[in-house]
Amino acid sequence: MGRGVEDQTAWFGIRLLRSIFWTYSDINFKLCQKLGSEDFLGLLLEDLKVYGSSSATNEKHRFLVISALYMLHNCAKASENRHLFRKLQVHEKILPFMRSDDMTVATVTLLILSQITYHSDRTPFHADADAVQYLLVLLASAQEDLNLCGKLEDGTFSASDVTLALGNIATNDSNILTIVQAGCIPLLARLLEIGGPYVQESVLFTLRELCRHEKTISEVSAITGITSIIEQLAESCDESTRQAASMLKLKILPDTRTFESGGRDRCPYQALCQRFKEHLQLPGSYFDESFNICYCVNCHHKRDDRLYYLRGKPAKDYALPVGWCRFALKVSSETTHIFKKWHVAFYGTTVEAVENILKYGNLPRTENTAVGSNHAREQCSQGLEPPGYHTKQVCLSATIRYAGMDVYSKPHTFIEIRTNKTYKAKVAFQVCVKPGSYKVGQKTARSSTPIDLKFSNHEIEWSARELKDVVIYGLLVKLQIT
């Protein structure tokens, strides 16, 4: 892509074209998804190989390197592209750029690595201390901005973006002390005070990752007032913030975990969900109790689970359904192979629909049920069908936060006989979906704020047309006292 840089006329065209792709890939998520092809990513990598990480003395070469890195970063934000990053071994090819003495080069490289590296990777990278320090400079500058955005040369990054990058880097244990020793804890503590719910959740996520090391827990506890802030957020009216704060609270104040009398290993929430399931009077022949699992905050903490995992070929992220309880379903022995090869997703539904879904083993398409997005239907009725949206489809998501929204998982009132307490009950299904059988698109349910830390609202909804490509393996239940 960078050939012809010595010719002035050719260089003008190259710079103009690169600037257009750079700018629009930063603001147009669909373009990022389309640019995420092997050929385009390969061309960017070729430029990095040709011009190297030490190109500061040549203005043209430096522009090609920085623009390539920024475009790789933009494309990496689309989860649909990440299997191509693994296939092209982007991780290994850009590592030398993290150690560049050019702050912009090193910082953007580390941001890319934070997007494409997972705790389960066989060859986790070791974050360069200087590059981590550059990220913290960016985070500090964001705290001085009215919109909590830090400015890097030719780029702007929100405080939540930088914070999540630190959290992603920390999923590799070897990087935790590097991040903590660089001085991130006071900066994160400050963000808990001045940030909104989404920023606070990103900070809580990152602190929890960092607190997997005992040294971090003492560092966090030493910050004046931070424990009381976390305790306050654990009572927040924002559910995502409340969950994240409760999980961090269990890390730094382990004695706060509470269970009913009858043994520390007994989970009252799972028992309550079990009683709700019994209330539904579903035939026991549908279920396989040996694979039941509770995802309440306490059980999640006890297992030391991550929030996100990879599943399928090609591997794709999914979020654990924290706050829900799963009752495993019997799965045909002929379909057990799908658990390693297919992707995990969630489908929100109504209490009234559960028995029929279990009876026939298929999820109803949007047109045949009241479960879909009213906003999307409204658009369709006006001839404004959202791109990739079909009225006859199964709406899924890799995160229960989307599939479990009220528009999909409609609340049901449940009065628990033993205590006479009233709960808002919700149900959903955990499923495996065949790779390549569904389309990924933006949300069609109304929401003006980011729904999940990992998944952009632009790619949070999956739509499958063929029922045979979706296999149900768990009934999820969520109860909240009213």
Tens digits of residue pLDDT in 224-240 = 999 999 999 999 999 99
Return all residues near 149 (Cβ < 8 A) that are at least 6 apart. 142, 156, 157, 158, 159
| 8-255 belongs to CATH 3.40.50.620 | no
Do the beta carbons of residue 124 and residue 117 sit within 8 Å? yes
Residue-range domain boundaries for the chain:
8-255, 268-481
Do the beta carbons of residue 313 and residue 293 sit within 8 Å? no
The reported pLDDT for the residue numbered 53 is 76
The reported pLDDT for the residue numbered 119 is 63
Query: Partners of 152 in the beta sheet?
Result: 155
How many CB atoms are closer than 10 A to CB 274?
A: 17
Return all residues near 234 (Cβ < 8 A) that are at least 6 apart. 242, 245, 246, 249
d(CA 465, CA 454): 25
The reported pLDDT for the residue numbered 260 is 42
Helix (H) or strand (E) holding 481: strand 470-481
Q: How far is CA 445 from the centre of its chain?
A: 18
Return all residues near 185 (Cβ < 8 A) that are at least 6 apart. 207, 210, 216, 219, 220, 223
Q: Which residue in 466, 441, 348 sits closest to 389, CA to CA?
A: 441
| Assigned fold of 268-481 | Phosphoenolpyruvate Carboxykinase; domain 3 (3.90.228)
Residue type, 131: A
**Eight-class DSSP state of 328:** E
Do the beta carbons of residue 376 and residue 447 sit within 8 Å? no
Low-confidence ranges of the chain (pLDDT < 70): 1-4, 6, 54-56, 119-123, 254-265, 366-391
Give me 142's structure tokens. 């964001």
d(CA 119, CA 169): 9
The reported pLDDT for the residue numbered 383 is 43
Evaluate the CA torsion angle 82, 88, 92, 97 in order and state its sign: negative
